[in-house]
Amino acid sequence: MLFTTLHAMTERFRQRLSDPNSSFGRYRTIAIGQRGLGDLLAYELINTFILPLPGRLGLGLRRLLFPLICAKMGRCVTLGTDCTIRNPFRIWIEDYAVIEDGVTLDVKPLAHNLLIGRNVVVGRRTILNCAGGTLAIDNGTHIGPSCRLGSKKGLTIGKHCRIGEQACCSGAGHAYADRNRPIVEQAVTCKGPTKLGDFVIVGDRATILDGIQIGNNVRIAPDSLVTRDIPDNSLVAGVPARIQDSHS
């Protein structure tokens, strides 16, 4: 009798989970995509009991267990406490990467993949929002705390870049032609993928709009607003950012 009751409860839960219009179905899609009940259970257990654990015990358990729900987790990855991770089966993290405390790794249900390269550092409370195209960070890049990096149509950050505190790569924007509606309620717009070349330095609080192509060895001054493409070996500053100097 008990077995029959448990089986019936499991079947009802499975049906609710597989229904994309139910609350369970919507949560599953946001949390793990279209994976099964076992994957959702592993995700919930790791998020509830392992991600918040401090100290060496927490770090060791995350290294041991997170590969169960991550597309790839390389050797000696440091994954901090209290991170928010959605759709981890679409996240690749290479060897020796450091994901500090409170980071958000958010891959939307219809997005591509989030790729974090070897020796990449992602600072505290930074948000990586993979909302459409692939968000890829190449080897050796350091991202400061409290940044927001989005990828509505794709974001690529090259090798050995330095991105300062509270910097932003805007993955998309909103239309604003209708003055009778709040901007946030108007259509989402995106001018195309954003790309940062190798050895780029982005200053604190700088913002790079969607669809911008930035060359290699570019320096962006703090508090700048980048609204147009930047060629290799340039120093830019201002709102909007303009080329101040070129260097070889």
> Domains in the chain, start-ordered, CATH in brackets?
25-246 (2.160.10.10)
Amino acid 146: pLDDT: 98
Amino acid 105: pLDDT: 97
- In 3D space, the residue among 81, 123, 70 whose CA is nearest the CA of residue 98 turns out to be 123
Taking the C-alpha atoms of residue 83 and residue 86, their distance in angstroms, rounded to an integer, is: 10
Q: What are phi and psi of 181, to 5 degrees?
A: -125, 145
Q: What percent of the chain has pLDDT over 90?
A: 71
Taking the C-alpha atoms of residue 30 and residue 84, their distance in angstroms, rounded to an integer, is: 12
- In 3D space, the residue among 77, 240, 217, 187 whose CA is nearest the CA of residue 105 turns out to be 77
> pTM for the full model?
0.89
pLDDT in tens, the chain (248 residues): 556 665 555 666 566 556 666 787 888 888 998 888 889 999 999 999 999 999 999 999 999 999 999 999 999 999 999 999 999 999 999 999 999 999 999 999 989 999 999 999 999 999 999 999 999 999 999 999 999 999 989 999 999 999 999 999 988 777 777 788 887 778 787 789 999 999 999 999 999 999 999 999 999 999 999 999 999 999 999 999 999 876 55
Catalogue the active-site residues: 174
Amino acid 176: pLDDT: 75
Beta-sheet pairing, 219-220 with 201-202: parallel
- In 3D space, the residue among 138, 143, 148 whose CA is nearest the CA of residue 162 turns out to be 143
Taking the C-alpha atoms of residue 196 and residue 137, their distance in angstroms, rounded to an integer, is: 10
What angle in degrees, to the nearest 10, is found between the helix axes of 37-45 and 2-18? 90
Amino acid 181: pLDDT: 83
Taking the C-alpha atoms of residue 138 and residue 150, their distance in angstroms, rounded to an integer, is: 15
pLDDT tens per residue, range 99-139: 999 999 999 998 999 999 999 999 999 999 999 999 999 99
Taking the C-alpha atoms of residue 244 and residue 15, their distance in angstroms, rounded to an integer, is: 61
